[in-house]
Amino acid sequence: MALLYGSSYQIPGTSPGALIAPADQPAGEAVLTLTRFDAHKVAEAQHVTPEECQGWLAEAAAAGQAVTGQAVTGQAVAGQEGDRKEPPPAGKHPGQPIFWLHVSGTPDADLARRLQDSLGLHPLALEDVMNGGQRPKVELYDEHLFVVFTHADYSGLGLRLFQTSLFLKGNLVISIDAGDDGLFRPVRERLSRGGKLRQLGPDYLLYALIDLIVDHKFPLLERMGAEIEDLETDLLEDPPADANRRLHRMKRHLLLLRRQQWPEREVLNVLLRGDKDMGIGKKTLVYLRDSYDHAVQLMDLLETYREVVTELQNALMLASSNRLNDIIRVLTVISVIFMPLTFIVGVYGMNFDPAAGWLNMPELGWAYGYPVVMIFMLALTAGMLWFFRRRGWL
């Protein structure tokens, strides 16, 4: 799970590209699934090893070279007739299958080294895979293209982010997902049905995975938006006791998503402006523009929700301040009312003896003295309440 203010990292001083698993990483949980497909069929093998993948890739490459050689010979004959064509690029021949290796879970140090040795993945890229929580980015190595994205899981009580690492190397696409394997189930279903995903190249498969990661955030933001609307309704009617805590948690989640979504939009922009060495064709770039548009929409939603949550926090603070002012005003009115009453009671509580002299509270000996004082105090209280209400203080 990704943290808000930090990410996993190597011990300072460690050699770059050192494949050392973090201390808190569970070992032995990564599962490899290899899918091989072309325009006509698709096959899947689960619980494979990197060495088995290397063997199948070598067999497919050898078969593809044989087919390419026959195609070049036929083109040479056609060239003698004045209709010469360029041979198809290596690894892109229609007869050569496409491989998709999916790794569910974070590889440990041993599996990372085997992926490096068998499939030629760059150690710096594998280091970023093992140390999750990386910033979304795109890197072009001599061996392959490396892309880092993030997908999220929101249950209402907490937000969890998982890193997804993607590799594009010739006819091989590798996806390493630290979260649930069910994320890419729609892509597997599309492969089983056939269609465009099986007819186009590995760059289109890379796009399909990226597009699914980007679009996966729309239902998540929809749930967060519904929760924000419920909070807004509660605040306008009767603010609950935990409203401030819920708003703070929601704002933290939005901040975390924005921290990941902003660089993801830049990654898509780099892929769109990238050179041919990235291995992404012009047909796929058209679809990547659609993913970029979705990423922009996500950023707009995040910014809108953040502003709404901020305004709700301000409204809650204002409502709390107004409620406190009302309480203080009522208490102040009560105190002001009792001030003269307390004075009167205090004066007549001094217990002077009226018999000692005519100045020593002669009204204490009056038969109607007590009722008159009580009526006067009630009249004084009523008059003060009338005055406060007339001035709008009540």
Most confident of 57-61, 159-163, 238-242, 302-306: 302-306
Instruction: Judge whether 214 and 299 are in contact, CB under 8 Å.
Output: no
**What's the confidence (pLDDT) of residue 76?**
33
Condensed to tens digits (0 to 9), the pLDDT of residues 348-380 reads: 777 777 777 777 777 777 777 788 888 988 999
The 3-state secondary structure of 181-219, one letter per residue: HHHHHHHHHHHHHCCHHHHCCHHHHHHHHHHHHHHCHHH
Name the pLDDT band for 112 (thresholds 50, 70, 90). Answer: confident
Q: Across residues 284-312, what is the average pLDDT?
A: 90
Instruction: Judge whether 254 and 302 are in contact, CB under 8 Å.
Output: yes
Condensed to tens digits (0 to 9), the pLDDT of residues 320-354 reads: 887 888 888 888 888 888 888 888 888 777 777 77
Task: Give the predicted TM-score (pTM) of the model.
Answer: 0.75
Longest Cα–Cα distance of the chain, Å, equals 145
Mean pLDDT of all residues belonging to the chain: 79
> Exposed, middle or buried, 57 (CB in 10 Å: 0-12/13-18/19+)?
buried
**What's the confidence (pLDDT) of residue 67?**
43
Condensed to tens digits (0 to 9), the pLDDT of residues 153-201 reads: 887 567 888 889 999 988 899 999 887 667 888 888 888 887 788 888 8
Q: What is the CA radius of gyration of the chain?
A: 37
Q: What is the DSSP string of 100-161?
A: EEEEES---HHHHHHHHHHH---HHHHHHHHS--PPPEEEE-SS-EEEEEEEEEE-SS-EEE
3-class SS of residue 83: coil
**What's the confidence (pLDDT) of residue 293?**
92
Query: Residues of the chain with pLDDT > 90: what percent?
Result: 11
Q: Across residues 232-245, what is the average pLDDT?
A: 79
Closest CA to 249 of 318, 158, 316: 158
Instruction: Judge whether 223 and 179 are in contact, CB under 8 Å.
Output: no
Q: Report whether pLDDT(131) > 50.
A: yes
Domains (range + CATH), the chain: 31-317 (3.30.460.20), 326-390 (no CATH)
Instruction: Judge whether 47 and 107 are in contact, CB under 8 Å.
Output: no
**What's the confidence (pLDDT) of residue 333?**
84
For strand 145-154 and strand 137-140, is the pairing parallel, antiparallel, or unpaired? antiparallel
Q: Report whether pLDDT(19) > 80.
A: no
3-class SS of residue 263: helix
Condensed to tens digits (0 to 9), the pLDDT of residues 41-94 reads: 888 888 888 888 888 888 877 776 544 444 333 343 333 333 333 333 333 445
